Amino acid sequence: MKLAEFQRLIERIYFERDKARGASGTFMWFLEEVGELATALRENQDRQQLAEEFGDVLAWLCTLASISGVEMAEAIQKYADGCPYCHQTPCSCSNKK
């Protein structure tokens, strides 16, 4: 499944409820999912559990983008030519994050 297709799927499943909750309320749910992913990573959970947590985080990120009128497929174009600062792959910036 392509990212745009996934964003449309998440919209069909959750958009109306998430839009009614608003961006700030939905962002709090997103943070909760990020916390669950952090716990799974910290506890070295198995690959299947990690995959589920990564999927949940991506779903909430997509719904936040949709509420905000952002297409995720467009947002990721920032990285299409490598690092958005030095344009290298791998990044060769002197001030690495």
Number of domains in the chain: 1
**Does residue 84 lie within any of the structural domains?**
no
Query: Which pTM was predicted?
Result: 0.90
- Segment 61-86, tens digit of pLDDT: 999 999 999 999 999 999 999 999 99
Domain that holds residue 55: 3-79
Percent of residues, the chain, with pLDDT higher than 90: 96
Query: Can the peptide bond before residue 84 be classed as cis, meaning omega within 30 degrees of 0?
Result: no
- Segment 8-51, tens digit of pLDDT: 999 999 999 999 999 999 999 999 999 999 999 999 999 999 99
Q: Cβ neighbours of residue 78 under 8 Å, at least 6 residues apart?
A: 84
pLDDT value of residue 94: 81
pLDDT tops 80 at residue 97? no
- Check which CATH number belongs to the domain holding 63 and give it: 1.10.287.1080
Average predicted confidence (pLDDT) for the chain: 96
In the chain, the N- to C-terminal Cα span, in Å, equals 30
What are the counts of helices (DSSP H) followed by strands (DSSP E) for the chain?
3, 0
**Does residue 91 lie within any of the structural domains?**
no
**Does residue 47 lie within any of the structural domains?**
yes
